[in-house]
Structure 1
Amino acid sequence: MQQLRTAAIGVLALSWYPPGMKDDNGESTDDLVPAIMDIAHKYQVKVTFHIEPYKGRDDLSMYNNVKYIVDKYGDHPAFYRYKTSNGKHLPLFYVYDSYLTSPEMWTRLLMESGHHSIRNTAYDGIFIGLLVEEKQKNEILTAGFDGLYTYFATNGFSFGSSHRNWKSIKVFCDSNNLMFIPSVGPGYIDTSIRPWNFHNTRNRINGKYYETALSAALEVRTDIVSITSFNEWHEGTQIEKAIPKTAGQTTYQDYLPHKADIYLEITRKWAVKFQKEREKWLV
């Protein structure tokens, strides 16, 4: 949390599964959330929830997930709420792999007329769907999402993660009253866990790759930019401090010849630029 604060990052997007659930390689982590939020508050960082896909995720289970999160964590001072244009402060939820669920099913949750509608209830929020393929722009709109994000740190991997498409995506979002949250990353290398995926490796180029992504995000004038990631070491997208280290057969990435906190410094520099530019846009 101290590193996030140093880098002028305002919000931590926390990977989240419902209680008792987990991904294939980890443990159930919901019990850790109170401690994470307490420490986040200490360092003036807010926490939002990045809801992961799980078996059986549908409109009803998502309603229950959101209700659980808001009831359990909504009163915590670190709980992130986004200020909307009409002055409301609503929780913001990233929904990973939202395309795995049909737009028709999402409308039951995200449209006012939906069978399990969350709209205009105590659990209403800002729901951000994942854009991978171009056709999903319209699916996200039809489904009733409030915005979209691109997540992946590999420029060119998907339609959404390709910097060259961000301007047209922003135009689409502006035309349809959707938020656009481009995701930037410092590089990408996941061949330690996906040996076949070398073609998606992106070299950090001593920070230039990251700054190119941040510049592209700044150009499209968005309210929020997300970073993939703080600590996903297995995909080589981490920006947290790193020193040379080898454990067993694994040699971890470091940032030599630069300092251990070079990516935190770059993030802070661009956060300041972003804030200055936003002040100009709002004048």
Structure 2
Amino acid sequence: MEKIPTPLKVLTDEITIRDTAAGMVSICFTCSLLHLPLTYILQKSSVAFHIQPYKGRTDQSMHDNIKYITDKYGKHGAFYRFRSSTGRVLPLFYVYDSYLTPPESWADLLTAKGSHSIRGTPYDGIFVALIVEERHKHDILASGFDGIYTYFASNGFSFGSSHQNWKAIKAFCDGNNLLFIPSVGPGYVDTAVRPWNNHNTRNRVNGRYYETSLQAALSVRPELVTITSFNQWHEGTQIEKAVPKKTVTRLYLDYQPNQSDHYLELTRQWAENFNKEKDKWLM
């Protein structure tokens, strides 16, 4: 998952991301970004949208968001699409904090008989909800979502982000025709912005934490894996290049004694391995 970069930084980031062999970039979207010139971002990478909570986000406002995104970017070659279980190739949308909206409201949008359903319309898609607590999986199913993702990079932070639960979540998804998309990260440390949260810090251990997370994800044979994140420095989950830097107020964590592109290289290796393994699963 990636934060929206400035247009001047986009071209460099696109080249960097492409070199990792990642299949797509998921960028954060809120209604305040409706008029951002995303064509900069769409030039080189395949892009999916990670829809953030915002004041007044409802199933109806989401309908408007999806319509806007699809009308504006839907014909672009870089607009990421995924082949659904029915064989249709549809845009993929991640919905962060989806549990904030009641299942019956989501069902109005995401089920075929909903009052303003997008199913079977030009605005249909693959909609993936966030699982935090175990009970959310039942709400996600009732809501009409197409899949589940875990987002958080800190193993053990939530039910969904705990590697030990991924096998059970995958089994639930398989039994209910849902996608399961585990999310992995290189580590986690957000004490610069949340000083009280040190118990959720996960040290990188020179890449071993990242590789353990990736191995846990691949062990459940998912169709997709997301990485949290490319550049969320404030939570210490970035994988983009890093060099030593210290300011008056902050010491930025780097990857020494490894190279500045250590996590990009690990990502490339594991992405290539994932694609090879997935080909075997589907044989």
CA contact (8 A) 1:16 1:30 kept: no
* Count of aligned positions: 270
Summarize the alignment of residues 1-283 of structure 1 with structure 2, pairs less than 5 Å apart.
1-18=14-31, 21=32, 28=33, 30-38=35-43, 41=44, 45-283=45-283
Question: 1:113, 1:29 → 2: CA distance?
Answer: 28
Which runs of at least 4 in structure 1 moved beyond 4 Å after TM superposition? none
Displacement after TM superposition at 1:245 (Å): 1.0
Displacement after TM superposition at 1:173 (Å): 0.2
Tell me, what secondary structure is at the counterpart of 1:249?
coil
Partner amino acid for 1:5?
A: R
CA contact (8 A) 1:17 1:30 kept: no
Displacement after TM superposition at 1:54 (Å): 0.8
Of all paired residues, the percent bearing the same amino acid is 61
Question: 2:35, 2:245 → 1: CA distance?
Answer: 30
Displacement after TM superposition at 1:32 (Å): 3.4
Backbone CA RMSD of aligned residues? 1.0
Question: 1:274, 1:194 → 2: CA distance?
Answer: 34
Question: 1:85, 1:116 → 2: CA distance?
Answer: 23
CA gap of 1:29–1:212, structure 2 versus 1, over 3 A, is: farther
Question: 1:232, 1:30 → 2: CA distance?
Answer: 22
Displacement after TM superposition at 1:89 (Å): 1.2
| Deviations 1:87-140 (CA, angstroms, capped at 9, x unpaired) | 321000000000000001000000111111010000000000000000000000
Partner amino acid for 2:155?
A: N
CA contact (8 A) 1:173 1:180 kept: yes
User: Can you give the 5+ residue segments of structure 1 that lack an aligned partner in the other structure?
Assistant: 22-27
Question: 2:132, 2:37 → 1: CA distance?
Answer: 30
Partner of 1:25: none
User: Can you give the 5+ residue segments of structure 2 that lack an aligned partner in the other structure?
Assistant: 1-13
Partner of 1:24: none
| Deviations 1:49-105 (CA, angstroms, capped at 9, x unpaired) | 000001111111111100000000111111001112333210000000000000010
